[in-house]
Structure 1
Amino acid sequence: MTKYIRRAAALCALLLLALLVNATRVQVVDSKAYDSNPANRRKDIARYDQARGDILVGGRAVTGSRDTGEQLRHERTYTNGPLYAPVTGFASQVYGTTFLEHAEDALLAGTDPMLAPLPLWNDLARTRSPGGKVVTTVEPAAQRAAFAGLGGRKGAVAALDPATGKVLALVSSPSYDPERLAGTGSAVTGAWAALNADPDKPMLNRALSRTYPPGSTFKVVTAAAALDAGRVTDLDAPTRSPDPYTLPGTSTSLANEVDGCSDASLRHAFQWSCNTVFAKLGVDTGQDALADTAKRFGFDGPGPKVPSPTARSTFDTATDDAQLALSAIGQYDTRATPLQMAMVAAAVAGGGSVKAPHLVDRTTSADDDIVATTHTRTLQQAMNPRTAAQLRELMTDVVEKGTGTNAAIDGVTVGGKTGTAQHGVGNAGTPYAWFIAWARKPADPEPSVAVAVVVEDAAADRSDISGGGTAAPIAKAVMEAVLGA
């Protein structure tokens, strides 16, 4: 009998060992395969079992969660969804996450280890912390002013604090309501199909993800390169710039929209946006110097993360002199996001220093304990501080008595640069209207806002498009909102 008991015990031990081996295989060796299996819904069920943390603008939540009682319980809700969609993005049970909802997903979902009371606590206790909060840098008044200014026209606005890199406004138009993509069912799939089929591309974040020819706003970069290189030493000295200007090596003539550009000084050429002066100045300064300055402003590098990734702005570094002349006035293959051009304006306002733009001021737990804080970070020095001071002088002239008078604000020093960017085959497309600017109150030592506006406005008449006429009033409204003017 004892022999049979030993055999039975050995068999039981063997079976137990086999169970342990199999459990180890399932939970350790094959765990990733089971987790990633589309048929496994446990992860999704757990993800939406608790409310998601909120994104805050101006101290108030612009997101929320609604308990549906369904398997994927909590659906995302949005306050003023179209207004803040370029900032928040969407969180969808079906289509995933974008922008801040994606970049800060772990914190908002409560899976970030920094939310746990102790390291590895959630793994050991098999629990999940309540979703944290994302406190943005966006100023509600500036956001509303930018959104209202665009008025549904295709375009974008980006506004920054030059001293810190904080994003004060980020608007893309036309927009959409991200709440339409929250939840499951035919309404969500229908909304997704409709938004993707819309020719106006409302889900495209034009402020971060689309690049445009910057047109004459790029003349700020060209002027910085020429001043830094010593190509121009006196803002009021005449330049040897014919009008019209024949592009080097070609029979193509470049003309101006205004009179008085022949041999104009840099001050006059900047104030009235003389293409001939800046095209020749770009060639005289040289490709290496111009490309180096553009790179220091942020061109030709990876787009900054805010923390959402942004498109790469480019300045072609392999051109002949004719192409370089066009590149120097923001045409040919020169392309920039509105955020990049806001960084250009901010660098001028900030003494030549380019600060890293950021949308998140801090992240906290559900109980408002600080998880992380974003600190001001300098990316590079785009130009000599003396050059930045000269450009501030030139940009002020543009607003006080040049092409940008529509951006003037009573009692405030405003500097700006207009731009009208040609595009399309044979430049047949309706020009893009650009305006970049900065503003400073008399009592403030330095400018406290820099802004870039681009308006596509494909339905408008070509003659009605200009940076000063179309984009400058929008920039003015945003700056007034930030300054409280």
Structure 2
Amino acid sequence: MTRHIRHAAVFCALLLVALVVNAARVQIVQKPEYDGNPANRRPDIARYQQPRGDILVGGEAVTGSRDTGEHLRFERTYANGPMYAPITGFASQAYGTTLLEHAEDGLLSGADPMLAPLPLWNDVTGAHNPGGDVVTTIDGAAQRAAFEGLGGRKGAVAAIEPSTGRILALVSTPSYDPQLLSGNSAAATRTWHRLNDDPDKPMLNRAVSRTYPPGSTFKVVTAAAALDAGVVRDLDAPTRSPDPYTLPGTRTKLTNEADGCRDASLREAFEWSCNTVFAKLGVDVGVGGMTAMADAFGFNDDGLRVPFPVARSTFDTSVDRAQLGLSSIGQYNTRATPLQMAVVAAAVAGGGQVRSPYLVERTLRAGGSLVAAAGSRPTREVMRPATAALLKELMTGVVERGTGAKAAIEGATVGGKTGTAQHGVGNSGTPYAWFISWARGDGDMEAKVAVAVVVEGSAADRGGVSGGGLAAPIARGVMEAVLSTAGPKVASPAAGG
């Protein structure tokens, strides 16, 4: 009898071992397979069982969570959704996450191990941490000024603080309300299809995900290369530039919209945006020098994240001399995001030094304690300080005497550069209106903001598309908002300035 009991005990022990081994196989070995199975709703139920952490602007949450009472209990909500969509992106139960909602998803959802009170605590206890908060660098007043300035037009605005790299505004229009995508209802599905089928692409983040020919705003880069290389030493000396300028090795003649560009000085050519002068300067500098300067500003870098990825701005390195001339005036294959062109303006304002742009100031636990802070970004030298000083002088002249007069702000020093970029086969597309700028209040030691604005003109206003007319007033509004926040209130000049 004892022998039978012993055999039964051994058999039961073997069954228990087999059960444990099978449980381990299912929970460890086959876990990824079950987690990825569309029929398994447990991860989604757990994910949406608690409110999501918030994204903050100026100490105020621009996101929230709504208790639906459903299995997927909490849905994302957004305050001023269209205005902040190029920053937050969306967090949808059906379509996933984008932009900050995606880049900081671990922290916002509570899944980030950094939120656990002790290492491996959640793995042992099965606990789930409350979602943390993301504090952005955005200036709410600047964001609103950019959004309202663009109005119903297609375009984008990027603004950064030159001394730190903090992104102060990031706007793309037309926009959309991310809250309409938050749930998994039929209405969310209809909204998804409508937004994706819209030819105006409201979910495209034009500020960081689309590149445009920068047109004459790229002449800041060309001027920096010419000054750094010693091709030009005196801003007021004639440049020996013909008008029209025949592109090297071709019969193509490049012309200007402005008069008086023949042999114009760099100062005159910059203020009135003479294509012939800058195309010749780019050719004189050479492919190597132009490429090195463009790279120093941030072109051809496909690794920039803010923390979500930024599209690569490009300066073609495999060009002949004629193509180099066109590239040097922001045409041919030269392409840039608005954020990249804001960096160009910031490098000038920063005395030739620039810091990489960033959007997240710090992350917090639900109770408010610090998880991580951005810290100081390393600087890189783009150009010699003497070159930056001369470019400040040139950009100030554009606003005081040239094509950027509508960006002038009373009580501040403003530097700018206009641009009207051609595109399409035979330049058949409606031009893009550009303006890049920086501003320093008269009581400030350094520039407080650098801005880039691009407006996609419509066929109806093709003849009136200009950087000085369409984009400069928008940039002025953003700069005024930042200067008013940062120091003594400044006012714009009387209408018509």
With structure 1 as the length reference, what TM-score do the two structures score? 0.99
Give the letter aligned to residue 392 of structure 2: R
- Rounded Cα–Cα distance in structure 1 between residues aligned with 2:226 and 2:355: 22
Residue aligning to 1:120: 120
Residue aligning to 1:483: 483
| SS of residue in 2 equivalent to 1:430 | coil
- Rounded Cα–Cα distance in structure 2 between residues aligned with 1:153 and 1:89: 20
Residue deviations 1:143-195 (CA, integer Å, cap 9, x gap): 01000110021000000000000000000000000000001111011000000
The Cα of 1:61 is off from its aligned counterpart by 0.4
Residue deviations 1:102-133 (CA, integer Å, cap 9, x gap): 00000000111111111111111111111100
Residue aligning to 1:304: 304
Task: Show structure 1 runs of 5+ residues with no match.
Answer: none
Name the stretch that deviates more: 367-376 or 96-105: 367-376
Residue aligning to 2:495: none
The Cα of 1:376 is off from its aligned counterpart by 2.5
Residue aligning to 1:77: 77
Give the letter aligned to residue 433 of structure 2: A
Residue aligning to 1:154: 154
Residue aligning to 2:450: 450
- Rounded Cα–Cα distance in structure 2 between residues aligned with 1:272 and 1:369: 53
- Rounded Cα–Cα distance in structure 1 between residues aligned with 2:299 and 2:94: 36
Task: Show structure 2 runs of 5+ residues with no match.
Answer: 485-489, 491-497
Give the letter aligned to residue 401 of structure 1: R
Residue aligning to 2:339: 339
- Rounded Cα–Cα distance in structure 2 between residues aligned with 1:439 and 1:416: 9
| SS of residue in 1 equivalent to 2:443 | coil
Residue aligning to 1:201: 201
- Rounded Cα–Cα distance in structure 2 between residues aligned with 1:273 and 1:31: 62
Give the letter aligned to residue 394 of structure 1: L
The Cα of 1:240 is off from its aligned counterpart by 0.9
The Cα of 1:39 is off from its aligned counterpart by 1.4
Residue aligning to 2:378: 378
- Rounded Cα–Cα distance in structure 1 between residues aligned with 2:69 and 2:125: 25
Residue aligning to 1:264: 264
- Rounded Cα–Cα distance in structure 1 between residues aligned with 2:21 and 2:135: 47
Give the letter aligned to residue 182 of structure 1: S
- Rounded Cα–Cα distance in structure 2 between residues aligned with 1:315 and 1:125: 53
Give the letter aligned to residue 416 of structure 2: G
Residue aligning to 1:288: 288
Q: Is 1:357 aligned to 2:357, yes or no? A: yes
The Cα of 1:337 is off from its aligned counterpart by 0.2
Q: Counterparts in 2 of 1:15-94, with a 5 A limit?
A: 15-94=15-94
- Rounded Cα–Cα distance in structure 2 between residues aligned with 1:238 and 1:474: 34
| SS of residue in 2 equivalent to 1:461 | helix
Residue aligning to 1:188: 188
| SS of residue in 1 equivalent to 2:280 | helix
Name the stretch that deviates more: 439-448 or 335-344: 439-448
Q: Is 1:436 aligned to 2:436, yes or no? A: yes
Residue deviations 1:264-315 (CA, integer Å, cap 9, x gap): 0000000100000000000001010000000010001115211011100000
Give the letter aligned to residue 287 of structure 1: V
- Rounded Cα–Cα distance in structure 2 between residues aligned with 1:249 and 1:337: 31
- Rounded Cα–Cα distance in structure 1 between residues aligned with 2:379 and 2:187: 44
Q: Counterparts in 2 of 1:157-236, with a 5 A limit?
A: 157-236=157-236
Q: Which runs of 4+ in 1 moved over 4 A?
A: none
Residue aligning to 2:313: 313
The Cα of 1:12 is off from its aligned counterpart by 0.6
- Rounded Cα–Cα distance in structure 1 between residues aligned with 2:438 and 2:61: 29
Residue deviations 1:375-423 (CA, integer Å, cap 9, x gap): 2213521111110111000000000000100000011100000000000
- Rounded Cα–Cα distance in structure 2 between residues aligned with 1:71 and 1:299: 47
For the 8 Å contact 1:430–1:460, the answer to whether it is kept is no
Give the letter aligned to residue 157 of structure 2: V
The Cα of 1:4 is off from its aligned counterpart by 1.3
- What is the count of residue pairs matched by the alignment? 485
| SS of residue in 2 equivalent to 1:455 | strand
Give the letter aligned to residue 440 of structure 2: R
- Rounded Cα–Cα distance in structure 2 between residues aligned with 1:398 and 1:3: 102
Q: Percent of counterpart pairs with the same letter?
A: 71
| SS of residue in 2 equivalent to 1:237 | coil
Residue deviations 1:303-348 (CA, integer Å, cap 9, x gap): 5211011100000000111100000000000000000000000000
- Rounded Cα–Cα distance in structure 1 between residues aligned with 2:94 and 2:160: 34
- Rounded Cα–Cα distance in structure 1 between residues aligned with 2:376 and 2:466: 34
- Rounded Cα–Cα distance in structure 2 between residues aligned with 1:411 and 1:14: 86
- Rounded Cα–Cα distance in structure 2 between residues aligned with 1:331 and 1:401: 25
Name the stretch that deviates more: 126-135 or 451-460: 451-460
Residue deviations 1:50-74 (CA, integer Å, cap 9, x gap): 0000000111000000010101100
Residue deviations 1:229-276 (CA, integer Å, cap 9, x gap): 011011110011000001111111000001110000000000100000
With structure 2 as the length reference, what TM-score do the two structures score? 0.97
Residue aligning to 1:2: 2
Residue aligning to 1:412: 412
- Rounded Cα–Cα distance in structure 2 between residues aligned with 1:186 and 1:329: 49
What is the RMSD of the two structures over their aligned residues, measured on CA atoms?
Answer: 0.8
Q: Is 1:12 aligned to 2:12, yes or no? A: yes
- Rounded Cα–Cα distance in structure 2 between residues aligned with 1:17 and 1:129: 33
Q: Counterparts in 2 of 1:93-112, with a 5 A limit?
A: 93-112=93-112
Q: Counterparts in 2 of 1:468-479, with a 5 A limit?
A: 468-479=468-479
For the 8 Å contact 1:353–1:378, the answer to whether it is kept is no
Residue aligning to 1:394: 394
The Cα of 1:227 is off from its aligned counterpart by 0.5
Give the letter aligned to residue 107 of structure 1: L
- Rounded Cα–Cα distance in structure 2 between residues aligned with 1:150 and 1:379: 31
- Rounded Cα–Cα distance in structure 2 between residues aligned with 1:115 and 1:17: 36
Q: Is 1:277 aligned to 2:271, yes or no? A: no
The Cα of 1:224 is off from its aligned counterpart by 0.4
For the 8 Å contact 1:248–1:322, the answer to whether it is kept is yes
Give the letter aligned to residue 39 of structure 2: A
For the 8 Å contact 1:215–1:329, the answer to whether it is kept is yes
| SS of residue in 2 equivalent to 1:216 | helix
Residue aligning to 2:139: 139
| SS of residue in 1 equivalent to 2:170 | strand
Q: Is 1:461 aligned to 2:451, yes or no? A: no
